[in-house]
Structure 1
Amino acid sequence: MAIIHRTAIVHEGAQLHETVEVGAYAVIHANVKIGAGTKVGEHCVIDGHTTIGENNVFYRFCSIGGIPQDKKYNYEQTYLEIGNNNTFREFVTVNTGTAQDMGVTRIGDDNWIMAYVHIAHDCQIGSHTIIANTVQLAGHIHIGDWAIIGGMSAAHQFIHIGAHSMTGGMSSIRQDIPPFVLGAGQPYKPAGINTEGLKRRGFSDNQIQVLREAYKIIYLRQLSLEDALVEIKKLQQVHTDTTEHLQLFIDFFETAHRGIGRK
Protein backbone atom coordinates (compact mmCIF):
# COMPACT_ATOMS: atom_id res chain seq x y z
CA MET A 1 0.00 0.00 0.00
CA ALA A 2 1.06 3.57 -0.64
CA ILE A 3 2.24 5.51 2.41
CA ILE A 4 -0.67 7.88 3.01
CA HIS A 5 -0.87 10.23 5.99
CA ARG A 6 -4.00 9.65 8.07
CA THR A 7 -5.27 13.19 7.34
CA ALA A 8 -4.86 12.93 3.57
CA ILE A 9 -7.82 12.17 1.30
CA VAL A 10 -7.37 9.77 -1.61
CA HIS A 11 -10.58 9.38 -3.59
CA GLU A 12 -11.77 5.97 -4.69
CA GLY A 13 -10.52 5.25 -8.20
CA ALA A 14 -7.16 6.99 -7.84
CA GLN A 15 -4.28 4.70 -8.80
CA LEU A 16 -1.17 5.07 -6.66
CA HIS A 17 1.88 2.83 -6.86
CA GLU A 18 2.67 1.13 -3.57
CA THR A 19 5.79 3.28 -3.11
CA VAL A 20 3.99 6.64 -3.43
CA GLU A 21 4.05 8.87 -0.35
CA VAL A 22 1.20 11.29 0.38
CA GLY A 23 1.63 13.97 3.06
CA ALA A 24 -0.74 15.46 5.59
CA TYR A 25 -3.96 17.06 4.34
CA ALA A 26 -3.17 16.33 0.68
CA VAL A 27 -6.11 15.53 -1.61
CA ILE A 28 -5.87 13.19 -4.60
CA HIS A 29 -8.93 12.89 -6.81
CA ALA A 30 -10.41 9.85 -8.52
CA ASN A 31 -8.95 10.14 -12.03
CA VAL A 32 -5.32 10.50 -10.94
CA LYS A 33 -2.58 7.95 -11.62
CA ILE A 34 0.77 8.28 -9.81
CA GLY A 35 3.87 6.19 -10.53
CA ALA A 36 6.51 4.63 -8.30
CA GLY A 37 8.56 6.71 -5.90
CA THR A 38 6.60 9.94 -6.29
CA LYS A 39 6.13 12.09 -3.19
CA VAL A 40 3.11 14.34 -2.70
CA GLY A 41 3.70 16.94 -0.02
CA GLU A 42 1.44 18.40 2.64
CA HIS A 43 -1.69 20.24 1.48
CA CYS A 44 -1.17 19.42 -2.21
CA VAL A 45 -4.23 18.91 -4.40
CA ILE A 46 -4.00 16.68 -7.47
CA ASP A 47 -7.12 16.33 -9.57
CA GLY A 48 -8.35 16.16 -13.16
CA HIS A 49 -7.48 13.33 -15.55
CA THR A 50 -3.85 13.45 -14.49
CA THR A 51 -1.12 10.88 -15.09
CA ILE A 52 2.14 11.31 -13.16
CA GLY A 53 5.24 9.19 -13.72
CA GLU A 54 7.95 8.00 -11.35
CA ASN A 55 10.09 9.76 -8.74
CA ASN A 56 8.45 13.16 -8.93
CA VAL A 57 8.41 15.45 -5.89
CA PHE A 58 5.54 17.84 -5.21
CA TYR A 59 6.35 20.20 -2.34
CA ARG A 60 3.62 21.52 -0.06
CA PHE A 61 0.62 23.43 -1.43
CA CYS A 62 0.97 22.49 -5.12
CA SER A 63 -2.25 22.52 -7.16
CA ILE A 64 -1.90 20.03 -10.02
CA GLY A 65 -4.49 19.09 -12.65
CA GLY A 66 -6.97 21.89 -12.08
CA ILE A 67 -9.36 22.94 -14.82
CA PRO A 68 -8.10 25.50 -17.37
CA GLN A 69 -8.36 29.21 -16.64
CA ASP A 70 -10.08 29.67 -19.99
CA LYS A 71 -13.62 31.02 -20.36
CA LYS A 72 -14.13 28.77 -23.40
CA TYR A 73 -13.64 25.67 -21.27
CA ASN A 74 -16.95 23.81 -20.98
CA TYR A 75 -15.91 20.93 -18.72
CA GLU A 76 -14.71 18.72 -21.57
CA GLN A 77 -12.59 15.73 -20.52
CA THR A 78 -9.03 16.97 -20.92
CA TYR A 79 -5.74 15.75 -19.53
CA LEU A 80 -2.42 16.44 -17.82
CA GLU A 81 0.60 14.19 -18.36
CA ILE A 82 3.76 14.50 -16.23
CA GLY A 83 6.87 12.38 -16.82
CA ASN A 84 9.56 11.23 -14.39
CA ASN A 85 12.00 12.84 -11.95
CA ASN A 86 10.44 16.30 -11.89
CA THR A 87 10.51 18.66 -8.93
CA PHE A 88 7.61 21.03 -8.26
CA ARG A 89 8.26 23.53 -5.48
CA GLU A 90 5.73 25.29 -3.27
CA PHE A 91 2.48 26.65 -4.73
CA VAL A 92 3.10 25.53 -8.32
CA THR A 93 -0.11 25.36 -10.36
CA VAL A 94 -0.52 23.23 -13.50
CA ASN A 95 -3.78 23.03 -15.46
CA THR A 96 -5.19 20.40 -17.81
CA GLY A 97 -5.62 21.03 -21.54
CA THR A 98 -8.54 22.37 -23.55
CA ALA A 99 -10.62 21.05 -26.43
CA GLN A 100 -9.43 23.99 -28.55
CA ASP A 101 -5.89 22.53 -28.60
CA MET A 102 -4.62 18.95 -28.20
CA GLY A 103 -6.64 18.52 -25.02
CA VAL A 104 -3.56 17.77 -22.94
CA THR A 105 -0.91 19.67 -21.00
CA ARG A 106 2.43 17.82 -20.97
CA ILE A 107 5.57 18.07 -18.83
CA GLY A 108 8.52 15.83 -19.68
CA ASP A 109 11.29 14.49 -17.44
CA ASP A 110 13.80 15.96 -15.00
CA ASN A 111 12.36 19.47 -14.91
CA TRP A 112 13.04 21.82 -12.00
CA ILE A 113 9.95 24.00 -11.47
CA MET A 114 10.33 26.52 -8.66
CA ALA A 115 7.84 28.14 -6.29
CA TYR A 116 4.70 29.91 -7.52
CA VAL A 117 5.18 28.95 -11.17
CA HIS A 118 1.96 28.76 -13.18
CA ILE A 119 1.79 26.41 -16.18
CA ALA A 120 -1.46 27.06 -18.02
CA HIS A 121 -3.61 24.82 -20.19
CA ASP A 122 -2.11 23.04 -23.20
CA CYS A 123 1.51 23.96 -22.43
CA GLN A 124 4.03 21.47 -23.75
CA ILE A 125 7.17 21.46 -21.58
CA GLY A 126 10.16 19.36 -22.66
CA SER A 127 12.76 17.79 -20.38
CA HIS A 128 15.63 19.12 -18.26
CA THR A 129 14.21 22.65 -18.11
CA ILE A 130 14.58 25.10 -15.23
CA ILE A 131 11.63 27.41 -14.64
CA ALA A 132 12.46 29.80 -11.81
CA ASN A 133 10.29 31.32 -9.10
CA THR A 134 6.98 32.99 -10.07
CA VAL A 135 7.36 32.45 -13.83
CA GLN A 136 3.91 32.72 -15.42
CA LEU A 137 3.26 30.68 -18.56
CA ALA A 138 0.06 31.43 -20.47
CA GLY A 139 -1.80 28.80 -22.45
CA HIS A 140 -0.50 26.82 -25.44
CA ILE A 141 3.20 27.59 -24.82
CA HIS A 142 5.87 25.15 -26.02
CA ILE A 143 9.26 24.97 -24.27
CA GLY A 144 12.15 22.90 -25.63
CA ASP A 145 14.57 20.69 -23.71
CA TRP A 146 17.18 22.32 -21.46
CA ALA A 147 15.60 25.79 -21.67
CA ILE A 148 16.00 28.06 -18.63
CA ILE A 149 13.54 30.84 -17.75
CA GLY A 150 14.54 33.35 -15.08
CA GLY A 151 12.36 34.30 -12.13
CA MET A 152 9.35 36.63 -12.37
CA SER A 153 9.22 36.33 -16.16
CA ALA A 154 5.91 36.14 -18.01
CA ALA A 155 5.25 34.54 -21.39
CA HIS A 156 2.43 35.35 -23.83
CA GLN A 157 0.12 32.56 -24.97
CA PHE A 158 1.11 30.45 -27.99
CA ILE A 159 4.80 31.40 -27.96
CA HIS A 160 7.56 28.82 -28.47
CA ILE A 161 10.80 28.88 -26.47
CA GLY A 162 13.60 26.91 -28.09
CA ALA A 163 15.83 24.22 -26.63
CA HIS A 164 18.99 25.29 -24.77
CA SER A 165 17.85 28.92 -24.61
CA MET A 166 18.25 31.03 -21.48
CA THR A 167 15.99 33.91 -20.52
CA GLY A 168 16.95 36.36 -17.81
CA GLY A 169 14.70 37.20 -14.89
CA MET A 170 11.77 39.63 -15.05
CA SER A 171 11.50 39.26 -18.82
CA SER A 172 8.33 39.99 -20.78
CA ILE A 173 8.26 37.30 -23.48
CA ARG A 174 5.93 38.31 -26.31
CA GLN A 175 7.55 36.57 -29.29
CA ASP A 176 9.20 33.20 -29.90
CA ILE A 177 12.72 32.65 -28.54
CA PRO A 178 14.98 30.55 -30.81
CA PRO A 179 17.08 27.62 -29.61
CA PHE A 180 20.47 28.36 -28.05
CA VAL A 181 19.76 32.10 -27.64
CA LEU A 182 20.43 34.13 -24.48
CA GLY A 183 18.36 37.23 -23.75
CA ALA A 184 16.22 39.22 -21.35
CA GLY A 185 14.22 42.41 -21.00
CA GLN A 186 10.85 44.11 -21.05
CA PRO A 187 10.19 43.33 -23.81
CA TYR A 188 12.64 40.46 -24.24
CA LYS A 189 15.64 41.15 -26.48
CA PRO A 190 18.24 38.61 -27.69
CA ALA A 191 21.82 39.15 -26.53
CA GLY A 192 23.84 36.23 -27.97
CA ILE A 193 24.27 32.50 -27.63
CA ASN A 194 23.88 30.64 -24.32
CA THR A 195 27.57 29.77 -24.34
CA GLU A 196 27.98 28.71 -20.73
CA GLY A 197 24.94 26.47 -20.82
CA LEU A 198 26.13 24.76 -23.99
CA LYS A 199 29.58 24.15 -22.48
CA ARG A 200 27.98 22.50 -19.47
CA ARG A 201 26.06 20.17 -21.79
CA GLY A 202 29.12 19.02 -23.68
CA PHE A 203 28.98 21.16 -26.83
CA SER A 204 32.44 21.50 -28.37
CA ASP A 205 34.18 24.84 -28.84
CA ASN A 206 33.70 24.53 -32.59
CA GLN A 207 29.99 23.81 -32.27
CA ILE A 208 29.53 26.85 -30.04
CA GLN A 209 31.50 29.02 -32.44
CA VAL A 210 29.37 27.89 -35.37
CA LEU A 211 26.18 28.65 -33.44
CA ARG A 212 27.60 32.11 -32.66
CA GLU A 213 28.13 32.63 -36.37
CA ALA A 214 24.54 31.55 -37.06
CA TYR A 215 23.35 34.04 -34.46
CA LYS A 216 25.33 36.84 -36.13
CA ILE A 217 23.86 35.94 -39.52
CA ILE A 218 20.32 36.15 -38.15
CA TYR A 219 20.63 39.15 -35.87
CA LEU A 220 23.60 41.31 -36.91
CA ARG A 221 24.08 41.08 -40.68
CA GLN A 222 20.92 42.98 -41.64
CA LEU A 223 19.87 40.24 -44.02
CA SER A 224 16.29 39.27 -44.76
CA LEU A 225 15.25 36.17 -42.84
CA GLU A 226 15.14 34.17 -46.07
CA ASP A 227 18.69 35.19 -47.04
CA ALA A 228 19.94 34.59 -43.50
CA LEU A 229 18.63 31.02 -43.53
CA VAL A 230 20.34 30.39 -46.85
CA GLU A 231 23.65 31.44 -45.27
CA ILE A 232 23.08 29.21 -42.26
CA LYS A 233 22.39 26.26 -44.55
CA LYS A 234 25.79 26.90 -46.12
CA LEU A 235 27.32 26.61 -42.63
CA GLN A 236 25.71 23.17 -42.33
CA GLN A 237 27.60 21.94 -45.36
CA VAL A 238 30.96 22.99 -43.90
CA HIS A 239 30.51 22.15 -40.21
CA THR A 240 29.08 18.65 -40.24
CA ASP A 241 29.50 18.25 -36.46
CA THR A 242 26.93 21.04 -35.99
CA THR A 243 24.47 20.04 -38.72
CA GLU A 244 21.83 18.76 -36.30
CA HIS A 245 21.99 21.85 -34.09
CA LEU A 246 21.85 24.24 -37.04
CA GLN A 247 18.85 22.34 -38.39
CA LEU A 248 17.07 22.86 -35.07
CA PHE A 249 17.84 26.58 -35.45
CA ILE A 250 16.59 26.67 -39.06
CA ASP A 251 13.41 24.72 -38.35
CA PHE A 252 12.52 27.05 -35.51
CA PHE A 253 12.77 30.16 -37.67
CA GLU A 254 10.82 28.56 -40.49
CA THR A 255 7.91 27.65 -38.20
CA ALA A 256 7.84 30.60 -35.77
CA HIS A 257 4.36 30.99 -34.29
CA ARG A 258 4.38 34.54 -32.93
CA GLY A 259 7.29 36.00 -34.85
CA ILE A 260 10.87 36.49 -33.67
CA GLY A 261 12.09 39.94 -32.74
CA ARG A 262 15.39 40.86 -34.38
CA LYS A 263 17.56 43.86 -33.55
Structure 2
Amino acid sequence: MSTIHPSAIIEMGAQLGEDCVIGPFCVVGAQVVLGDRVELKSHVVVTGRTTIGEDSVLFPFSVIGEIPQDLKFKGESSRLEIGARNRIREHVTMNAGTEGGGGLTKVGDDGLFMAGCHIAHDARIGNRVIVVNSAAVAGHCVLEDDVIIGGLSGIHQWVRIGRGAIIGAVTMVTNDVIPYGLVQAPRGELHGLNLVGLKRRGVARSDITALRAAFQMLAQGDGTFQDRVRRLGDDTESDYVRELVQFVLGETDRSFLVPGR
Protein backbone atom coordinates (compact mmCIF):
# COMPACT_ATOMS: atom_id res chain seq x y z
CA MET A 1 0.00 0.00 0.00
CA SER A 2 1.24 3.47 -0.92
CA THR A 3 0.23 6.75 0.68
CA ILE A 4 -0.98 9.30 -1.87
CA HIS A 5 -2.10 12.79 -0.93
CA PRO A 6 -5.52 13.71 -2.39
CA SER A 7 -4.06 16.69 -4.27
CA ALA A 8 -1.45 14.58 -6.09
CA ILE A 9 -2.01 13.55 -9.73
CA ILE A 10 -1.01 10.00 -10.64
CA GLU A 11 -1.61 9.47 -14.35
CA MET A 12 -3.07 6.23 -15.61
CA GLY A 13 -0.30 3.74 -16.34
CA ALA A 14 2.17 4.91 -13.68
CA GLN A 15 3.63 2.08 -11.61
CA LEU A 16 4.23 2.57 -7.89
CA GLY A 17 6.11 0.09 -5.74
CA GLU A 18 5.17 -0.88 -2.23
CA ASP A 19 4.95 1.76 0.51
CA CYS A 20 5.61 4.78 -1.70
CA VAL A 21 4.70 8.20 -0.29
CA ILE A 22 3.37 10.78 -2.76
CA GLY A 23 2.99 14.18 -1.12
CA PRO A 24 0.79 17.18 -1.86
CA PHE A 25 0.57 18.55 -5.41
CA CYS A 26 2.96 16.02 -6.94
CA VAL A 27 2.54 14.87 -10.57
CA VAL A 28 3.57 11.38 -11.65
CA GLY A 29 3.42 10.69 -15.39
CA ALA A 30 1.89 7.72 -17.14
CA GLN A 31 5.22 6.05 -18.03
CA VAL A 32 6.89 6.52 -14.65
CA VAL A 33 8.00 3.56 -12.53
CA LEU A 34 8.73 4.18 -8.85
CA GLY A 35 10.49 1.53 -6.77
CA ASP A 36 9.50 0.47 -3.29
CA ARG A 37 9.45 3.15 -0.59
CA VAL A 38 10.15 6.07 -2.92
CA GLU A 39 9.03 9.34 -1.36
CA LEU A 40 7.99 12.48 -3.24
CA LYS A 41 7.70 15.14 -0.56
CA SER A 42 5.53 17.75 -2.30
CA HIS A 43 5.27 19.68 -5.60
CA VAL A 44 7.51 17.11 -7.32
CA VAL A 45 7.09 16.40 -11.05
CA VAL A 46 8.23 13.02 -12.39
CA THR A 47 7.44 12.55 -16.05
CA GLY A 48 8.53 10.78 -19.23
CA ARG A 49 9.91 7.22 -19.34
CA THR A 50 11.50 7.56 -15.92
CA THR A 51 12.45 4.86 -13.43
CA ILE A 52 13.42 5.70 -9.84
CA GLY A 53 14.93 3.06 -7.57
CA GLU A 54 13.85 2.03 -4.10
CA ASP A 55 14.22 4.23 -1.02
CA SER A 56 14.93 7.39 -3.02
CA VAL A 57 13.60 10.71 -1.71
CA LEU A 58 12.70 13.66 -3.93
CA PHE A 59 12.27 17.08 -2.36
CA PRO A 60 9.89 19.90 -3.35
CA PHE A 61 9.98 21.44 -6.82
CA SER A 62 12.36 18.91 -8.34
CA VAL A 63 11.49 18.13 -11.98
CA ILE A 64 12.64 14.71 -13.11
CA GLY A 65 12.44 13.14 -16.57
CA GLU A 66 11.44 16.14 -18.68
CA ILE A 67 12.58 16.38 -22.30
CA PRO A 68 16.22 17.38 -22.89
CA GLN A 69 17.31 20.97 -23.33
CA ASP A 70 18.69 20.20 -26.78
CA LEU A 71 17.47 21.86 -29.98
CA LYS A 72 18.23 18.65 -31.89
CA PHE A 73 15.60 16.78 -29.86
CA LYS A 74 12.57 16.07 -32.05
CA GLY A 75 10.37 14.20 -29.64
CA GLU A 76 11.92 10.76 -30.01
CA SER A 77 11.38 8.24 -27.22
CA SER A 78 14.13 8.39 -24.58
CA ARG A 79 14.57 7.45 -20.94
CA LEU A 80 15.89 8.44 -17.53
CA GLU A 81 16.97 5.73 -15.10
CA ILE A 82 17.74 6.64 -11.48
CA GLY A 83 19.06 4.04 -9.06
CA ALA A 84 18.28 3.31 -5.42
CA ARG A 85 18.62 5.43 -2.27
CA ASN A 86 19.23 8.74 -4.01
CA ARG A 87 18.52 12.07 -2.33
CA ILE A 88 17.30 14.62 -4.87
CA ARG A 89 16.90 18.00 -3.24
CA GLU A 90 14.82 21.09 -4.02
CA HIS A 91 14.66 22.42 -7.61
CA VAL A 92 16.91 19.69 -9.04
CA THR A 93 16.35 18.93 -12.73
CA MET A 94 17.29 15.70 -14.51
CA ASN A 95 16.48 15.26 -18.20
CA ALA A 96 15.85 12.21 -20.37
CA GLY A 97 18.28 11.23 -23.12
CA THR A 98 18.42 11.97 -26.84
CA GLU A 99 18.64 9.76 -29.90
CA GLY A 100 22.14 11.07 -30.62
CA GLY A 101 23.34 10.10 -27.15
CA GLY A 102 21.85 6.62 -27.00
CA GLY A 103 18.47 7.66 -25.64
CA LEU A 104 19.34 7.21 -21.96
CA THR A 105 20.36 9.36 -19.03
CA LYS A 106 21.47 7.11 -16.18
CA VAL A 107 22.09 7.84 -12.50
CA GLY A 108 23.52 5.22 -10.12
CA ASP A 109 22.80 4.46 -6.47
CA ASP A 110 23.28 6.39 -3.21
CA GLY A 111 23.77 9.82 -4.77
CA LEU A 112 23.16 13.23 -3.24
CA PHE A 113 21.98 15.91 -5.65
CA MET A 114 21.77 19.18 -3.77
CA ALA A 115 19.38 22.05 -4.35
CA GLY A 116 19.26 23.54 -7.83
CA CYS A 117 21.73 21.25 -9.57
CA HIS A 118 21.17 19.93 -13.10
CA ILE A 119 21.88 16.60 -14.79
CA ALA A 120 21.55 16.95 -18.55
CA HIS A 121 20.60 14.52 -21.30
CA ASP A 122 22.62 11.35 -21.91
CA ALA A 123 24.82 11.84 -18.84
CA ARG A 124 26.10 8.75 -17.03
CA ILE A 125 26.37 9.25 -13.27
CA GLY A 126 27.95 6.57 -11.07
CA ASN A 127 27.30 5.48 -7.51
CA ARG A 128 27.76 7.65 -4.41
CA VAL A 129 28.13 10.81 -6.49
CA ILE A 130 27.57 14.19 -4.84
CA VAL A 131 26.58 17.21 -6.93
CA VAL A 132 26.49 20.32 -4.75
CA ASN A 133 24.08 23.25 -4.97
CA SER A 134 23.58 24.92 -8.36
CA ALA A 135 26.21 22.85 -10.18
CA ALA A 136 25.45 21.82 -13.78
CA VAL A 137 26.49 18.60 -15.51
CA ALA A 138 26.10 19.02 -19.27
CA GLY A 139 25.00 16.50 -21.87
CA HIS A 140 26.90 13.26 -22.52
CA CYS A 141 29.15 13.65 -19.45
CA VAL A 142 30.42 10.66 -17.49
CA LEU A 143 30.88 10.91 -13.72
CA GLU A 144 32.31 7.71 -12.30
CA ASP A 145 31.71 6.41 -8.76
CA ASP A 146 32.47 8.59 -5.72
CA VAL A 147 32.87 11.85 -7.65
CA ILE A 148 32.11 15.15 -5.89
CA ILE A 149 31.16 18.27 -7.88
CA GLY A 150 31.44 21.50 -5.90
CA GLY A 151 28.76 24.16 -5.76
CA LEU A 152 28.23 26.54 -8.70
CA SER A 153 30.53 24.46 -10.90
CA GLY A 154 29.93 23.60 -14.56
CA ILE A 155 30.97 20.40 -16.34
CA HIS A 156 31.28 20.83 -20.12
CA GLN A 157 29.51 18.41 -22.43
CA TRP A 158 31.28 15.10 -23.18
CA VAL A 159 33.69 15.49 -20.24
CA ARG A 160 34.59 12.36 -18.25
CA ILE A 161 35.48 12.58 -14.57
CA GLY A 162 37.25 9.54 -13.15
CA ARG A 163 36.36 7.66 -10.01
CA GLY A 164 36.99 9.43 -6.71
CA ALA A 165 37.82 12.81 -8.24
CA ILE A 166 36.71 16.05 -6.59
CA ILE A 167 35.89 19.34 -8.32
CA GLY A 168 36.14 22.47 -6.17
CA ALA A 169 33.41 25.08 -5.99
CA VAL A 170 32.92 27.68 -8.74
CA THR A 171 34.98 25.72 -11.25
CA MET A 172 34.48 25.29 -15.00
CA VAL A 173 35.72 21.89 -16.22
CA THR A 174 36.22 21.58 -19.98
CA ASN A 175 38.57 18.58 -20.12
CA ASP A 176 38.61 15.05 -18.72
CA VAL A 177 39.74 14.57 -15.13
CA ILE A 178 41.88 11.62 -14.06
CA PRO A 179 40.58 9.27 -11.34
CA TYR A 180 41.21 10.62 -7.82
CA GLY A 181 42.15 14.03 -9.23
CA LEU A 182 41.67 17.31 -7.36
CA VAL A 183 40.49 20.15 -9.62
CA GLN A 184 39.98 23.75 -8.62
CA ALA A 185 40.35 27.36 -9.85
CA PRO A 186 37.84 29.14 -12.09
CA ARG A 187 39.05 27.48 -15.31
CA GLY A 188 39.61 24.05 -13.83
CA GLU A 189 43.24 23.26 -12.99
CA LEU A 190 44.46 19.83 -11.87
CA HIS A 191 46.15 20.68 -8.58
CA GLY A 192 46.79 17.23 -7.16
CA LEU A 193 45.02 14.16 -5.82
CA ASN A 194 41.93 13.81 -3.67
CA LEU A 195 43.97 12.49 -0.76
CA VAL A 196 41.27 13.19 1.81
CA GLY A 197 38.78 11.11 -0.15
CA LEU A 198 41.26 8.26 -0.59
CA LYS A 199 41.99 8.15 3.13
CA ARG A 200 38.31 8.31 4.07
CA ARG A 201 37.64 5.29 1.87
CA GLY A 202 40.37 3.34 3.59
CA VAL A 203 42.67 2.99 0.58
CA ALA A 204 45.93 1.32 1.58
CA ARG A 205 48.90 3.60 2.22
CA SER A 206 50.92 1.72 -0.42
CA ASP A 207 48.31 2.54 -3.07
CA ILE A 208 48.16 6.20 -2.03
CA THR A 209 51.96 6.36 -2.21
CA ALA A 210 51.85 4.78 -5.68
CA LEU A 211 49.25 7.30 -6.84
CA ARG A 212 51.30 10.21 -5.53
CA ALA A 213 54.38 8.93 -7.36
CA ALA A 214 52.31 8.48 -10.51
CA PHE A 215 51.02 12.04 -10.26
CA GLN A 216 54.57 13.37 -9.92
CA MET A 217 55.59 11.45 -13.04
CA LEU A 218 52.63 12.87 -14.94
CA ALA A 219 53.60 16.36 -13.81
CA GLN A 220 57.36 16.20 -14.40
CA GLY A 221 58.20 13.21 -16.60
CA ASP A 222 59.59 13.32 -20.12
CA GLY A 223 57.52 13.08 -23.29
CA THR A 224 53.87 13.80 -23.94
CA PHE A 225 51.15 13.25 -21.37
CA GLN A 226 50.07 10.07 -23.15
CA ASP A 227 53.67 8.79 -23.23
CA ARG A 228 54.01 9.31 -19.49
CA VAL A 229 50.75 7.49 -18.85
CA ARG A 230 51.83 4.50 -20.92
CA ARG A 231 55.08 4.26 -18.96
CA LEU A 232 53.07 4.25 -15.75
CA GLY A 233 51.16 1.22 -16.97
CA ASP A 234 54.39 -0.65 -17.62
CA ASP A 235 55.95 0.09 -14.22
CA THR A 236 53.18 -0.13 -11.62
CA GLU A 237 51.85 -2.91 -9.41
CA SER A 238 49.02 -0.78 -7.97
CA ASP A 239 45.49 -1.46 -9.17
CA TYR A 240 44.67 2.20 -8.53
CA VAL A 241 47.41 3.39 -10.85
CA ARG A 242 46.34 0.82 -13.45
CA GLU A 243 42.82 2.21 -13.23
CA LEU A 244 44.18 5.70 -13.88
CA VAL A 245 46.12 4.44 -16.90
CA GLN A 246 43.12 2.64 -18.36
CA PHE A 247 40.95 5.73 -17.90
CA VAL A 248 43.40 8.00 -19.73
CA LEU A 249 43.95 5.54 -22.57
CA GLY A 250 40.20 4.91 -22.97
CA GLU A 251 37.96 6.42 -25.60
CA THR A 252 37.20 10.11 -25.13
CA ASP A 253 36.05 13.17 -27.05
CA ARG A 254 38.05 15.60 -24.89
CA SER A 255 41.66 16.22 -23.94
CA PHE A 256 42.81 15.90 -20.31
CA LEU A 257 43.50 18.34 -17.55
CA VAL A 258 47.25 18.01 -17.06
CA PRO A 259 49.22 18.71 -13.85
CA GLY A 260 50.65 22.20 -13.81
CA ARG A 261 48.16 23.67 -16.29
TM-score, length basis structure 2: 0.96
Match of 1:220 in 2: 220
Q: Is the 8 A contact 2:172 2:186 kept in 1?
A: yes
Aligned pair partner of 1:259 in 233, 242, 255:
255
Q: C-alpha separation between the residues in 2 aligned to 1:98 and 1:49?
A: 12
1:249 corresponds to which residue?
A: 244
Identity of aligned residues (%): 36
SS at match of 1:157: coil
Cα deviation, 1:103-134, whole Å, max 9, x if unaligned, reads 00000000011000010000000001111000
Letter paired with 1:254: L
Which residue in 2 is equivalent to 1:164?
164
Deviations 1:67-121 (A, max 9, x none): 0000110111100001101000100000000000110000000001100001000
Amino acid in the other structure paired with 1:261: L
Query: How many angstroms does 1:219 deviate by?
Result: 2.0
What is aligned with 1:94? 94
Task: Determine helix, strand or coil for the equivalent of 1:260.
Answer: coil
- Distance in 2 separating the partners of 1:251 and 1:112: 27
Residues 1-263 of structure 1 correspond to what in structure 2 (within 5 A)?
A: 1-236=1-236, 239=237, 242=238, 244-255=239-250, 256-262=252-258, 263=260
Q: Contact 2:230–2:245 at 8 Å: present in 1 too? A: no
What number of residue pairs does the alignment pair up?
258
Deviating runs (4+, > 6 A) in structure 1? none
In the TM superposition, residue 222 of structure 1 has moved relative to its aligned partner by 4.6
- Contact map agreement 1:41 1:61 (CA 8 A) in 2: no
Cα offset, 1:18, TM superposition: 2.7
Contact 2:166–2:182 (CA under 8 A) maintained in structure 1:
yes
TM-score (structure 1 length as normaliser) = 0.95
The alignment yields a C-alpha RMSD, in angstroms, of 1.1
Q: Deviations over 1:213-253 (max 9, x none)?
A: 111111233531233123312332xx3xx2x2222101121
Contact 2:62–2:89 (8 Å) recurs in 1: yes
User: Which whole-Å deviations, capped at 9, do the CAs of 1:149-187 have from their partners, x for residues lacking one?
Assistant: 100000111100110001100000111111011121121
